[in-house]
Each structure stands twice: as structure tokens, then as C-alpha cells.
Amino acid sequence: MSNFKKYSTYYNLLYQDKNYGEEVEYVEKLIKRHTEIPVTEILDMGSGTGRHDFVFAQKNYRVTGIDLSEEMTQIALSACVKNTEFHTGDVRSIEINKQFDAVISLFHVASYQTTNEDFEKYLQSAKKHLKQGGVFIFDFWYGPAVLSDKPTTRIKRLENTEIKITRLTESEILPNANTVNVNFEMLIEDKETGQLTKTRELHPMRYWFLPEIEYFCKHVGFKIERSYNWFSENKLSLESWYGVLILKKI
């Protein structure tokens, strides 16, 4: 079941400052550098509300987005953006009768796959839907950095014309599972009525280490072409909370 049920309503507001445009520029550069085939069709695994996909579509790519959350998918569909299609589904088990020139999976979707079995199925699915010569690009929580610079309690405040949100994030590391339980508690104030609503959501996140990813890749039939600190071309280091990998089919 999706853990984005309540969160989806506030998702675009919570991440209104996230620069999807620049992230697409970055990912497009990596795609162009590492594919051996022309890229026109992209599969987005864990597409959320579709914001990367809308930017890719503006650049004339055709994008298919799959997300576990019915609510997130409905938000993506409601934008009616040409050259995009969205479906609710589990990327670990989807069967699209088609292969794409590139597969992307952005903003920690890989870390939402918390068990070895989940992650292996996620990689298998990406491989099945990727053409030979294409690339699979995804970001993830990078274990060495998560453990050396542990998650802290954070408060974020946001508002639009209708509501004010205060979000408290508290995290607990589960070192024997290589996961972090991220607890979101949100207080939502209706600006017109003053009514307050409180909601909680738990997001278990897996942090990954390169040797284990390498092992899964070999097993599934991928090779790691490059690894970087997310949104840069720097090497992964103890400061890289988020990593990005470029995989190619063997």
C-alpha cells in the first residue's frame, strides 16, 4: 500500500521550491552522455505528481509515469500535459508491453524499496522495460553519509492562499535493517476558517551502500556506468546524503 495517501494532497506545496527544471537539465545531460541510442521515450518509475515528466515533455520527450499512489497519479493526470501518460501501479511488478530508451526514478524512489527483495524486483523491472543501449538513472540515500551525518529533527513551514502547513520531521535509524523511519507530523490550518487538522505519516527509507547495489546489479544484469553525488559530477563521499547511479544493461 502507498504511504503517500494523505501526504499527496500537500506534496506540491511542500516541494514548491524544489527545482524540477534544473533537475531535468541535469538528468538529461547524464542521459545524453551515456546512451548509445536516440532517446525519445522515457519511463519514470515512481513519477509522483509528474513534475519531472512535465519538464521532459516540454522538451519533446514522451514520458510514461507509474506511481503506487492513486492520489499522486490523479494529481499528475489532472494537469493534462501533452506527451505524458500516468498510471497507478507498483514499479516492482508492472508489465508494460514496451521498452523505453531511458528509465528514470527520481527523488528517493529507490530508497522507498526497503527490502533486498523489493530492490531486486525494482531493478528487474527497470531492466525489463529498458532497451539495450539505454540507461537507467536513479537517486538514493547513500549509506556512508546517512550514518556519518545522522538525520535530525526538522520543522518546515509553508503556505498558499488557502492553507498554512507546519511539518515536523523526526527520524529514527534502524541500523540492523539499514533503514530510517521518517515520521512526518503535519499541522494544517485553513486560513479562512482557522480550522486545524493534524496528520501523521510514516515513511520507512532504506539507505544503500555501493557494494550491495553492485551485487544486485550483477545479479539482475546491469552494470554501474557511473556514480555521483546527486546533482553534481562529484564522487560519492561521506558528505553525499544523496547519490545518483547510471546503470546500463550488460
The least distance separating ligand SAM from the CB of residue 242, rounded to whole angstroms, comes to 12
Chain residue at closest Cβ approach to ligand SAM: 48
State the amino acid at position 246 in one-letter form.
I
Whole-number Å distance between alpha carbons of 15 and 233: 24
The least distance separating ligand SAM from the CB of residue 216, rounded to whole angstroms, comes to 15
Considering the complex, state which of residue 133 and residue 171 has its C-beta at the smaller distance from ligand SAM: 171
The least distance separating ligand SAM from the CB of residue 47, rounded to whole angstroms, comes to 6
Sorted by sequence, the CB contacts under 8 Å of residue 22 that are 6+ apart come out as: 231
Whole-number Å distance between alpha carbons of 237 and 232: 12
The least distance separating ligand SAM from the CB of residue 195, rounded to whole angstroms, comes to 27
Considering the complex, state which of residue 63 and residue 145 has its C-beta at the smaller distance from ligand SAM: 63
Considering the complex, state which of residue 118 and residue 189 has its C-beta at the smaller distance from ligand SAM: 118
CA 159 to chain CA mean position, Å: 24
Considering the complex, state which of residue 15 and residue 133 has its C-beta at the smaller distance from ligand SAM: 15
| DSSP for residue 206 | E
CA 57 to chain CA mean position, Å: 18
The least distance separating ligand SAM from the CB of residue 106, rounded to whole angstroms, comes to 5
The least distance separating ligand SAM from the CB of residue 137, rounded to whole angstroms, comes to 12
Whole-number Å distance between alpha carbons of 65 and 59: 16
3-state DSSP call for residue 124? helix
Whole-number Å distance between alpha carbons of 142 and 245: 11
Nearest alpha-carbon partner for 134 in 222, 248, 22 = 248
Considering the complex, state which of residue 34 and residue 92 has its C-beta at the smaller distance from ligand SAM: 92
User: What is the contact surface with ligand SAM in residues (CB under 6 A)?
Assistant: 2, 4, 46-48, 51-52, 66-69, 72, 90-92, 106-109, 112
Considering the complex, state which of residue 47 and residue 229 has its C-beta at the smaller distance from ligand SAM: 47
